[in-house]
């Protein structure tokens, strides 16, 4: 199986999981953490359109922090807010009741490190998609391109759309599609709640 270099994301976009399905993934955890990425945010489809959910992280005196060392902040009750937003957005979706009991655990248990939170959540998603768990973590920062690894770091981003010939998003029925139209490449939970066991066919 071909190899790909990815980042650790919070409830990553559908495109990200298509890579986990088709490649043996190496997750970069020894790079410096940067803001406004999917590392600590995801996009869901709410009654008001696309909604961004962001996990607050601790600012370690403005020093550069490796991804694996980033700590979650609990100064605000973001877990309650995220869970409430997910319930409001997908409570009427076909497979909400099927998945929510496992998902809501992540909004009641406190994790110290963002990487641990993201990784355990990703393991749950992989299990429910019924795809092989083919990812591992970098032992050191990979500073340059290697001929046997497709470097996708920084390419799946909330700031830009990537032309990706391998990923062609097929439409599926979304809860608020009649109101705002189909929204492509949202968080994987949008696909799971709406398509359930059929979700893998869209990857």
Backbone angles phi, psi at 3, to 5 degrees: -105, 150
Q: Which of 37, 70, 64, 67 is nearest to 155 (CA)?
A: 37
List of E strands, the chain? 3-7, 24-28, 41-46, 49-54, 135-137, 149-151
DSSP states along 34-54:
-SSSTTSEEEEEETTEEEEEE
Confidence at residue 168, expressed as pLDDT on a 0 to 100 scale: 85
Rounded to 5°, the CA angle 126-20-83 comes to 45
Q: Which of 145, 156, 133 is nearest to 24 (CA)?
A: 133
Structure confidence at residue 165 as a pLDDT band (50, 70, 90): confident
57: helix, strand or coil: strand
pLDDT at 147 exceeding the cut of 70: no
Structure confidence at residue 57 as a pLDDT band (50, 70, 90): very high
Buried-exposed string 92-111: b where 16+ CB fall within 10 A, e elsewhere: ebebbeebbeebeebbeeeb
Rounded to 5°, the CA angle 87-88-93 comes to 75
Q: Which of 106, 135, 120, 182 is nearest to 23 (CA)?
A: 135
Q: How far is CA 171 from CA 75, 77, 178, 195, in A?
A: 38, 34, 13, 11
Confidence at residue 136, expressed as pLDDT on a 0 to 100 scale: 94
Query: 10-20, pLDDT tens digit by residue?
Result: 999 999 999 99
Mean local confidence (pLDDT), 22-48: 95
The reported pTM is: 0.94
For helices 96-103 and 114-129, give the axis angle rounded to 10 degrees. 150
Query: 99-141, pLDDT tens digit by residue?
Result: 999 999 999 999 999 999 999 999 999 999 999 998 999 999 9
Buried-exposed string 34-63: b where 16+ CB fall within 10 A, e elsewhere: eeebbbbbbbbbbeeeebebebebeeeeee
């Amino acid at each position: 199986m071909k190899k790909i270099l990815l980042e650790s994301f919070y409830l990553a976009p559908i495109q990200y999981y298509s890579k986990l399905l088709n490649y043996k993934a190496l997750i970069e955890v020894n790079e410096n953490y940067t803001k406004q990425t999917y590392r600590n945010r995801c996009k869901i489809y709410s009654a008001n359109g696309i909604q961004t959910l962001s996990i607050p992280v601790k600012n370690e005196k403005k020093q550069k922090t490796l991804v694996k060392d980033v700590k979650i902040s609990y100064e605000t009750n973001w877990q309650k807010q995220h869970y409430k937003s997910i319930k409001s957005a997908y409570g009427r979706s076909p497979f909400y009741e099927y998945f929510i009991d496992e998902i809501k655990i992540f909004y009641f248990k406190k994790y110290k490190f963002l990487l641990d939170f993201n990784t355990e959540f990703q393991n749950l998603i992989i299990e429910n998609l019924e795809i092989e768990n083919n990812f591992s973590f970098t032992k050191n920062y990979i500073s340059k391109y290697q001929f046997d690894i497709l470097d996708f770091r920084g390419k799946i981003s909330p700031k830009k759309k990537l032309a990706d010939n391998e990923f062609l998003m097929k439409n599926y029925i979304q809860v608020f599609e009649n109101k705002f139209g189909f929204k492509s490449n949202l968080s994987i939970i949008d696909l799971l709640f709406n398509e359930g066991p059929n979700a893998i066919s869209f990857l």
